[in-house]
Structure 1
């Protein structure tokens, strides 16, 4: 067992909680850090960062969706003696242009790449699990999910694969230095096709409805989202419709030695608790 501490930022989030659990099973000392963790971490309260970074050699970084703070965090990590950073970013981040999402991702990537630390970037496509929660929710709750996504496929990746890759990279110093891994599912699906697969697995009738970006933004605002936050999410769909991020990668297999989980695996787990992977 290593005495090196790995800090996991966003440890109660989608990837962070999964990565934390995997590292603990590997007997890796973990410092789980989030706004609600025993060791609190907040991107907008840097006074608490030093406590998070004390005696840490490796950090898993889930960045805040605004440009800038990751640069300050990386500088603080270097000063604290951190040696390695593993950054979560977005699939095909180079082609997101000057959009808000593109600027956010490139700012974070520039921060780790420009540091003196060993770094690895994990660029993940949209998570399959996004369909199991607001605002993309599809079955097992029957209904009519409405999104501004058309015929352009998305190579949805299972969060379990993202966490498996992150845990492997975090646990293998030196083997992934300077690498950018594009993490995608094995094939692309349109959002309507993905909803159909979940509907078939659940047996609940669901009809996907495409709406305009303006309608989607308005719906989010009506549901309590801030205007900027709603526009940020809508912008993601507009960019995906360009098709530049529709391609798939073999990088999951490169790291793990096995293919990424197909979307059907998620559909089974989302609708049948007893389903398991062989």
Structure 2
């Protein structure tokens, strides 16, 4: 493999976040290589080599990461094997000589997280550290971008969030934060950042903001955890998906996601978007 390839690798380059980060780095003339499962869907950026690989394919991942010093690792799509696949990819990164992993984790990641998928993030964080790699963990709250999809066809958001608050963040603010870190990675070694929007809101407030901006009648209906799991199962979700979906709301109810952080502003010099401002920008 040529030894003049960029020492920065960006994964998930065909996805929303990875693609945003790749474009921001290109605009700033930061050399990078892009990794994703399907190269045909990669962003077309000048002088940017691309590699096709997956987190579960250690052999191909190791070849794609040869010569990389800093790795932006976007968490894999949700699936029952995500934690193991990410361990496999970290093994490949270490063997390839990667020194620093910037990983997109989740707010409050912990071994007994109420949100079951948060436990995957904790496992990955710990595995990165256990392998002696430098790390930067971006623990973001839920993306503002996905909240409109929480409303059903009848305009009702259903879930066991009770009246708990959370501080959703715009994906674009996470991308700006990540690009800043990747431009000057050594300044952010062995750091954990919590990336949130500027305010904590309830799911009822989410519904009211959506109604105000879209002109549609959006409401929130609080369910119990058991009701939420069962409703998702009836809709065709597998057990792990149903539990993950329901516990994402339950984590809001507990207050685990209510912290408002100023890390986005500290990293980028620009305040993060509120949920309403994000929606207005998308209109």
Shorter-normalised TM range:
0.7 to 0.9
Gaps of 5+ in 1: 273-278
> Residues 98, 231 of structure 1: CA spacing in aligned structure 2 closer, same or farther, 3 A cutoff?
closer
> Residues 137, 56 of structure 1: CA spacing in aligned structure 2 closer, same or farther, 3 A cutoff?
farther
Match of 2:257 in 1: 245
- Aligned counterpart in structure 2 of residue 22 of structure 1, from 11, 21, 24: 24
**CA deviation after TM superposition for structure 1 residue 137, in Å:** 4.1
**CA deviation after TM superposition for structure 1 residue 82, in Å:** 1.7
Match of 1:150 in 2: 162
Alignment of 1:210-221 (within 5 A): 210-221=222-233
Match of 1:80 in 2: 96
Match of 1:100 in 2: 116
**CA deviation after TM superposition for structure 1 residue 186, in Å:** 0.9
Aligned to 2:201, the other structure's residue is in SS state coil
Match of 2:131 in 1: 115
CA distance in 2, matches of 1:137, 1:217: 16
CA contact (8 A) 2:111 2:123 kept: no
Aligned to 1:110, the other structure's residue is in SS state helix
Match of 1:129 in 2: 145
CA distance in 1, matches of 2:64, 2:243: 32
CA contact (8 A) 1:184 1:249 kept: yes
> Residues 244, 99 of structure 1: CA spacing in aligned structure 2 closer, same or farther, 3 A cutoff?
closer
**CA deviation after TM superposition for structure 1 residue 13, in Å:** 2.4
- Give deviations 1:133-177, integer Å, cap 9, x for gaps: 4xx147xx8722222222111101111110000111011021101
Gaps of 5+ in 2: 41-50
Q: Is 2:46 the partner of 1:34? A: no
Higher mean C-alpha displacement, 234-243 vs 121-130? 234-243
Match of 2:46 in 1: none
**CA deviation after TM superposition for structure 1 residue 19, in Å:** 1.1
Match of 2:279 in 1: 267
- Aligned counterpart in structure 2 of residue 174 of structure 1, from 186, 196, 204: 186
> Residues 96, 165 of structure 1: CA spacing in aligned structure 2 closer, same or farther, 3 A cutoff?
farther
- Aligned counterpart in structure 2 of residue 58 of structure 1, from 54, 63, 70: 70
